[in-house]
């Protein structure tokens, strides 16, 4: 039985044409089996979004009314820096014309390249992402004509803008750094990967989920604004996936001492014998100590314990307004010096090995300067993890350090008694905004996904506050005026500090890609001490280069037996030998070469100080999410 043909056959469907339509068609055909979202679930989601948005707007209005309306100010000096740059640029029209001609040349080359591709011919791209730029790793950025054009257009413009403002002559060094840094922030914010319409990953996800990803992303955005009490606090890790003492900070130990500033943890031995000299770690107080104890496989604390060291670590308090007047003196006296006292009393030893990480290394050197003035020789060796003692080269953090900005920050801190850890963490994240900001904006808000359960990012979001008095002293005397390097430049506990009088053998480990403590800056600090120094340069950056266990066999490191005082940093590097793997074994050889005497393993349950709790302790377990006490 045949079916009669319709007298009115359907009209052929009209389809869009052109490159965008071709890409959309390819994406659609790849997801023909997609399922439309449940209307009830959509309605529920929209209602939730509306309710939360309304509450946030009302809360914002109340805060603004309470603060009062004020004119915007340029407290960071950014507007002035860009105004100065603009004036200098306009004063040299010839250079502007040359820059514009170069931009036109690059665009013409791109159009020529694109026309060749459109006709089926291949050729070398006009420009390409720099090594390590993971924004354009999706193959569509290379294989699909339109996305390749968008990518190269962006890179050409970005390089032009950054190069033009970076080559303006006559700017003072401070303004030049600000212009360079914030221009880069602007350029990276405008990357096509950060927008739904020009990111192939987002387009595919939008088609696949019928737009549910964007709605989920908006809900994630509201969640992060709520978490920041009206300010966006990008969630970088699934914090519910980690529990202190369970799957992070898992090395067994006991809290054996506590005062207002610190808890001191002694870790349980894993060997029958331990080195006679105990090992005290002084971590930075802007983050928790467990960066050195994330997982058993990459824990420095676990590894050194397994090598036979009797390990102690300071766990800093998360200060509130009550500790506003705790200055650098207090961190020295109630922190580092007290910890040294307790370690010596607990073990009965008169000599110890020490480690200072980043800001903790600055404190350790200051403590050793004080001890040298007091003829106190209990610190037998000192190791500095990516630590600045000379602040001549502070890296891009120097963008935020000048008199005007510090005064502005001091005013903010004086109002509440401390600096929020999230504010400092935000500054550090800006130094690597592509990796530490925009990656999560894309994942959380455009793709609508939850953050990854990554232990390092869990730790990174677990920053601590800093007391007003301490942070003000540190910024002014170290970063701004570089007085720690100057003999007698600072006075701590009524003693002028002279690092050249520190004769203790020291080991400096820095990393070649460090954006927080540039290795040439830490190298200068290594020349400030008066004793023998072994300087080692590791691969990778500020965190990954330090948390680099031998089992991972990654990055490699450079060594040179010459003393840093004998040559500039570049000459040291030219004569350095590169070795594969981790520098951890090199450190072990160095520290045991100073003294390898051993004693029966020390149990934290036995000693002058009785345990008051299990590691990681209450100070480390208190997250910044808890509200500060007023």
Residue 358 annotated among the catalytic residues of the structure: yes
| CA dist., res. 603 & res. 213, Å (int) | 53
User: How many Å apart are CA 402 and CA 143, to the nearest integer?
Assistant: 47
Q: Are residues 169 and 292 in the same domain?
A: no
Name the DSSP class of 534: E
CA distance 558 to 510: 10
CATH of the domain at 601: 3.40.50.1820
Task: For residue 27, give the 3-state DSSP assignment.
Answer: helix
The answer to whether 272 touches 346, Cβ cutoff 8 Å, is no
Q: Considering 155, 177, 194, which residue would you say is the last residue of a domain?
A: 194
Residues 525 and 392 in one domain: yes
Eight-state DSSP code of residue 629: P
Please check whether residues 478 and 339 belong to one and the same domain. Answer: yes
**In this structure, is residue 466 part of a structural domain?**
yes
Q: Round to whole Å and give the CA distance between 367 and 337.
A: 7
Query: Rounded to an integer, what distance in angstroms lies between the CA atom of residue 43 and that of residue 54?
Result: 16
The contacts of residue 208 (CB under 8 Å, 6+ apart) are: 31, 34
Q: Which of 427, 412, 531 is nearest to 75 (CA)?
A: 412
Nearest CA to 217 among 458, 21, 45, 56? 45
Cα–Cα distance, 115 to 117 (Å, whole number): 5
Q: Is residue 609 part of a domain?
A: yes
Rounded Cα distance, 244 and 489, in Å: 41
- The answer to whether 463 touches 624, Cβ cutoff 8 Å, is yes
Q: Are 68 and 243 in contact (CB under 8 A)?
A: no
Q: Does 368 share its domain with 510?
A: yes
Q: Are 534 and 508 in contact (CB under 8 A)?
A: yes
As given in the structure block, the two tokens for residue 417 are 């008694």
Structure tokens at 124: 């070398």
Tell me how many helices (H) and strands (E) the chain has. Answer: 23, 17
Q: How many domains does the chain have?
A: 2
List of the chain residues with pLDDT < 70: 1-75, 624-630
In a domain, 231, yes or no: no
Rounded to an integer, what is the distance from CA 437 to the centroid of its chain? 10
Widest Cα–Cα separation across the chain: 110
140 and 259 part of one domain: no
CA atoms of 444 and 451, how far apart (whole Å)? 7
* Whole-prediction pTM: 0.84
Could you tell me if residue 248 is inside a domain?
Answer: no
Q: Who's near 474: CB < 8 A, 6+ residues apart?
A: 328, 359, 362
Q: Rounded to whole angstroms, how far apart are CA atoms 371 and 377?
A: 7
What is the per-residue pLDDT for 166?
Answer: 83
On whether both 190 and 261 belong to a single domain, the answer is no
Q: What is the β-pairing status of strands 557-559 and 533-538? A: antiparallel
Cβ-proximal residues to 445 (8 Å cutoff; 6+ apart), any chain: 217, 218, 220, 221
Nearest to 148 by CA among 177, 178, 181, 122: 122
In the 8-state DSSP scheme, what is residue 432? T
Inside any domain, residue 164: yes
Domain of residue 87, residue span: 78-194
3-class DSSP state of 537: strand
Phi, psi dihedral angles at 43 (to 5 degrees) = -60, -40
179 and 258 co-located in one domain: no
Is 207 within a domain? no
Q: 147, 177, 194: which is the final residue of a domain?
A: 194
Retrieve residue 126's tokens: 């006009």
Q: Is residue 328 part of a domain?
A: yes
Cβ atoms within 10 A of the Cβ of 361, count? 28
d(CA 116, CA 507): 57
Q: Which DSSP state fits 528?
A: T
- Token digits for 347? 């073990």
Residue 208 lies in a domain: no
How far is it, in rounded angstroms, from Cα 190 to Cα 350?
Answer: 58
Spot the catalytic one: 261, 342, 358, 490. 358
User: Is the domain of 408 the same as that of 495?
Assistant: yes
- How is residue 257 written in tokens? 């001492």
The gap between the terminal CA atoms of the chain, to the nearest Å, is 86
Reading the block at residue 575, the tokens are 């004569």
In the block, tokens 């040298």 appear at 372
455: its two tokens: 């232990």
Domain boundary among 157, 175, 194: 194
Q: Which two structure tokens, joined as six digits, stand for 111?
A: 């159009």
**190 and 264 belong to one structural domain:** no
Indicate whether 260 and 188 sit together in one domain. Answer: no
Shared domain for 477 and 368, answered yes or no, is yes
- Output DSSP code: residue 504: S
475 in the same domain as 391? yes
């Amino acid at each position: 039985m045949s079916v009669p043909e319709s007298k009115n056959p359907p009209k052929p469907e009209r389809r869009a044409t052109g490159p965008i339509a071709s890409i959309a068609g390819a994406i659609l055909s790849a997801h023909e089996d997609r399922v439309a979202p449940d209307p009830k679930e959509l309605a529920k989601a929209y209602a939730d979004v509306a309710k939360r948005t309304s509450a946030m707007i009302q809360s914002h209005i109340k805060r603004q009314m309470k603060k009062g309306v004020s004119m915007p100010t340029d407290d960071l000096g950014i507007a002035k820096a860009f105004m100065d740059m603009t004036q200098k640029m306009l004063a040299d029209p010839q250079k502007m014309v040359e820059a514009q001609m170069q931009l036109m040349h690059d665009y013409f080359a791109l159009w020529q390249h694109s026309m060749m591709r459109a006709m089926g011919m291949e050729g070398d791209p006009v420009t390409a992402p720099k090594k390590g730029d993971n924004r354009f790793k999706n193959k569509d950025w290379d294989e699909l004509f339109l996305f390749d054009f968008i990518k190269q257009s962006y890179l050409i413009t970005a390089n032009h803008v950054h190069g033009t403002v970076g080559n303006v002559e006559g700017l003072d060094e401070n303004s030049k750094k600000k212009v360079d840094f914030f221009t880069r922030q602007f350029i990276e914010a405008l990357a096509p990967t950060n927008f739904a319409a020009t990111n192939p990953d987002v387009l595919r996800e939008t088609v696949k989920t019928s737009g549910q990803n964007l709605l989920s992303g908006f809900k994630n955005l509201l969640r992060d604004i709520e978490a920041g009490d009206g300010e966006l606090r990008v969630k970088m890790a699934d914090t519910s996936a980690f529990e202190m003492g369970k799957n992070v900070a898992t090395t067994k130990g006991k809290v054996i001492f506590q005062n207002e500033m610190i808890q001191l943890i002694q870790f349980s031995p894993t060997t029958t014998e331990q080195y006679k000299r105990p090992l005290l770690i002084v971590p930075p107080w802007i983050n928790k100590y467990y960066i050195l104890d994330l997982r058993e496989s990459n824990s420095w604390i676990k590894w050194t314990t397994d090598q036979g060291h009797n390990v102690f670590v300071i766990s800093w308090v998360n200060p509130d307004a009550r500790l506003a007047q705790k200055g650098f003196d207090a961190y020295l006296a109630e922190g580092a010096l007290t910890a040294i006292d307790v370690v010596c009393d607990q073990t009965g030893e008169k000599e110890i090995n020490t480690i200072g990480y980043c800001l903790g290394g600055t404190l350790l050197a200051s403590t050793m300067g004080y001890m040298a003035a007091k003829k106190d020789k209990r610190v037998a060796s000192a190791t500095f993890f990516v630590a600045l003692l000379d602040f001549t080269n502070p890296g891009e953090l120097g963008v935020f350090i000048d008199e005007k900005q510090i005064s502005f920050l001091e005013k903010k801190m004086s109002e509440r008694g401390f600096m929020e850890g999230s504010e400092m963490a935000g500054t550090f994240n800006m130094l690597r905004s592509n990796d530490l900001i925009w990656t999560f904006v894309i994942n959380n808000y455009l793709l609508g996904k939850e953050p990854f359960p990554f232990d390092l990012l869990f730790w990174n979001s677990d920053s601590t506050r800093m007391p007003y008095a301490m942070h003000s002293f540190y910024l002014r005397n170290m970063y701004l005026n570089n007085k720690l390097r100057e003999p007698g430049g600072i006075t701590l506990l009524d003693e002028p500090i002279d690092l050249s009088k520190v004769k203790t053998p020291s080991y400096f480990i820095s990393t070649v890609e460090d954006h927080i403590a540039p290795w040439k800056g830490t190298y200068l600090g290594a020349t400030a001490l008066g004793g023998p120094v072994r300087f080692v340069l590791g691969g990778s950056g500020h965190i990954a280069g330090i948390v680099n266990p031998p089992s991972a066999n990654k990055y490699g490191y450079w060594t040179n037996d010459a003393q840093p005082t004998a040559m500039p940093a570049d000459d040291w590097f030219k004569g350095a030998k590169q070795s594969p793997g981790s520098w951890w074994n090199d450190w072990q050889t160095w520290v045991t070469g100073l003294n390898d005497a051993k004693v029966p393993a020390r149990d934290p349950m036995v000693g002058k100080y009785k345990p008051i709790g299990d590691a990681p302790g209450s100070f480390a377990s208190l997250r910044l999410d808890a509200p500060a006490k007023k």
